[in-house]
A and B are shown apart, each in its own frame.
Chain A
Amino acid sequence: MIKKNYEFLEHTADIRIRVKAKDLKELFVNTALAMFDIMAEKSLKPRAYSSKLKKIKIIQKADGLEELLVNWLNELLSLSAVKELIFTDFKIKKLDENNLEAEIFGDEIKNYRINTEIKAATYHQLKLERIDSSWQAEVIFDV
């Protein structure tokens, strides 16, 4: 089993997680990985469908890093629903306070078992901070 790069924090109705990373780009990637890990689990059945990953480009803008993180996660959720993909790989090309450019790679949703439908990432009690030389984020998902 792959070691999880996130932990669950208590929240009555929704799902709240804490994610750590060594730099900001990795933090964005790890949070996205965590979100899809909560949502879906790879089917054990042999693949009935194409396993070729689909590549999509994403550009996001926001007023600050925290908002950018939520926007990034919601864009991924929305694309996942529309394109019927589970994203498994993320290459962040550019990331600053206000802009994000990335290439994301998705596998057909039919190859997965859906565990939890995540409606959205929320701004509620959102945290994104630098702790010494690493980064940490806390996000609440509405499920």
Chain B
Amino acid sequence: MSDIWQGPLEKIDEWRWRIPKSYKAGMRVDGIIYADEKLLKDIRADKAPEQVANVAFLPGIVKASLAMPDIHWGYGPSIGAVFATDINKDGIITPAGVGFDINCGVRLLKTNFQYEEIKDKIKDLIYVLFDMVPAGVGSKGEIRVSEREEREILVKGARWAVEKGYGIEEDLECTEEYGAMEGADPLAVSERAYERGKAQSGTLGSGNHFLEIQVIDQLYDQELCDEFGLTLGQITVMIHSGSRGFGYQICYDYTRSMIQSLSKYKISVPDRQLACAPFNSPEGKKYFSAMKCAANYAWNNRQCLMYLVRKSFEKVFGISWQKMGMYLIYDVAHNIAKVEKHTVDGKEMTLCVHRKGATRAFGPGHPALPKIYKDTGQPVIIPGDMGRNSYLLVGTQKAMEETFGSTCHGAGRVKSRTAATKSINIDELLRQLEAKGITIKATGRNTIVEEAPQAYKDVNDVVNVVHNAGISKRVCRMRPLGVIKG
């Protein structure tokens, strides 16, 4: 390929590669990419390393512009980007460091079922789920809300659903930020965003969003599996969704206004999509409040989806979800900005940590973790593509030291949607998945092809890097049995 990235990638160790800040005038810190030799080949063939370097221009950035092994070319920062700015020293916040689908994320719930017990029911389950969980673009939810309630959701997040009876208190314990970030201001959200988000609660987004019935096919850490109550052959369910149109509009509204404010704050960025404002400026604060609204909206959305999943299982098996042991393991965001305290060069700093296609991975003992995960470290959920595996990991102390408590978020694309559509035959693909025992229901044939396993890096390679680099630890692996694509 002619446009392989030619910039410098210095080997730090087997799992880390440095783009020195001398690469481009204006870089304030180095870039560091987590990858092995194999993944690095794909990464070089992509333009993503240039984007890692571009992020290093952002005012207030500390330590390094980081990229996880699932890095791929995005807009502004790459997907898989992690970076933090010192908010007490003019550090910025940028909507591009979060992405359009604010708080796109995943949750994983367990069941008491073993694969052998329900293998004949998977198809029924998928059909009932497809019927009960409204999927696809612009689809409207079963759970309808009034305008007043919608604003309540933005502040309360997943708690709104729990108060309505769509879940239990423990669900919130097992959700990042307990299902809501404090300080969400509905007044920071445009009318258009409200309109765009209307009636989308409880719906799956399209594209890479999905709902999956899985079976645990490998245990890596027996002690942690015991702690989480997970065994080989056990059935799990994964839900992947975000803030959809509501979040897209907020991201766009604020990118547009921050392009205007670049000159006001004398900020120069190598890519307009990196438009940003000082975290403590009126523009920065307003975006952060609006972003929190979208984040809370997404957590509520995933809580509502989980409610519909539990109801679907109840319909198929005729027993309560509690009896089926359908408890939430954890819910993580992978497109978000947070204010967190981290130690950089021996000094504790208050940082605005951006994770765009990256997951928080706090180590054992972190005060943000609920009691049940204090000793294990934070559960980290890594979805793969529809034909390969997904993982449950935990955060580590090393992640706290190296990556602001962050790790990868998924497989990461290697093939563009256009290339996938051109080169993959849908019937052939469906046959292959069928042969692997995977049932697929999707709203459109295009979605299946664009999201085909061949379009993604092998998630096993990606997880291998984060595990070996020590920024998270493998607990167990799942493989898909039934998939619903929005």
The residues of A with any CB-CB pair to B shorter than 8 Å are 8, 10-15, 63, 67, 71, 74, 77-78, 81-82, 84, 109, 113-117, 119-120, 122-126, 140, 142-143
Contacts and interface: CB of A to CB of B under 8 A. Distances in A.
Residue among A12, A119, A125 having the largest count of chain B Cβ atoms under 10 Å: A12
Contacts of B192: 78, 82
B101 to A, nearest CB: 6
B76 A63 contact: no
A126 B419 CA distance: 21
B272 A126 contact: yes
A3 to B, nearest CB: 18
Contacts of A10: 416, 418-419
B245 A124 contact: no
Interface stretch (B166-174, B254-262, B346-354, B368-376): B254-262
B248 A116 contact: no
B75 A140 contact: yes
B46 interface: yes
Contacts of A140: 75
5 contacts: A14-B417, A15-B416, A15-B418, A78-B192, A78-B196
A114 B136 contact: yes
Contacts of A122: 75-76, 273
Contacts of B46: 12
A142 B244 CA distance: 12
Contacts of B245: 81
Given A81-B138, A142-B75, A120 B417 contact: no
Interface of B: 46, 48, 72-76, 79, 99-101, 136-138, 192, 195-196, 205-207, 245, 248-249, 251-252, 255-256, 259-260, 271-273, 275, 413-419, 443-444, 446, 450
Contacts of A82: 192, 195-196
Sort A-B residue pairs by CB-CB distance and give the 8 closest, nearest first. Answer: A124-B75, A123-B272, A117-B206, A122-B75, A124-B273, A119-B100, A114-B137, A82-B195
Residue among B76, B249, B252 having the largest count of chain A Cβ atoms under 10 Å: B252
Q: Is the interface of A mostly helix, strand, loop or mixed?
A: mixed
Contacts, number: 100
A124 B419 CA distance: 20
B207 A116 contact: yes
Given A74-B252, A116-B446, A123-B259, 18 more contacts: A10-B419, A12-B46, A13-B72, A13-B74, A13-B413, A63-B260, A78-B252, A81-B245, A82-B195, A114-B444, A115-B444, A116-B450, A120-B100, A122-B75, A124-B74, A124-B76, A125-B271, A126-B272
Nearest to A109: B138
Contacts of B72: 12-13
A63 B264 CA distance: 14
B207 A143 contact: yes
B259 A11 contact: no
B205 A117 contact: yes
A109 B251 CA distance: 24
Contacts of B450: 116
B184 to A, nearest CB: 21
Residue among B137, B271, B413, B415 having the largest count of chain A Cβ atoms under 10 Å: B137
A32 B337 CA distance: 32
A10 B79 CA distance: 16
Given A13-B79, A123-B255, A116 B138 contact: no
Contacts of B251: 120
A120 B418 contact: no
B414 A114 contact: no
A10 B245 CA distance: 25
Nearest to A14: B75
B138 A120 contact: no
Contacts of A119: 100-101, 248
A71 to B, nearest CB: 7
Contacts of A63: 259-260
A46 B9 CA distance: 57
Contacts of B196: 78, 81-82
A12 to B, nearest CB: 5
A47 B77 CA distance: 43
Nearest to B99: A142
Contacts of B273: 122-124
Contact of B138 (A8, A71, A114): A114
A15 B192 CA distance: 24
A9 to B, nearest CB: 8
Contacts of A14: 73-75, 416-417
Contacts of A116: 206-207, 417, 446, 450
A124 B271 contact: yes
Contacts of B101: 119
Contacts of B249: 78
Contacts of A120: 100, 248, 251-252
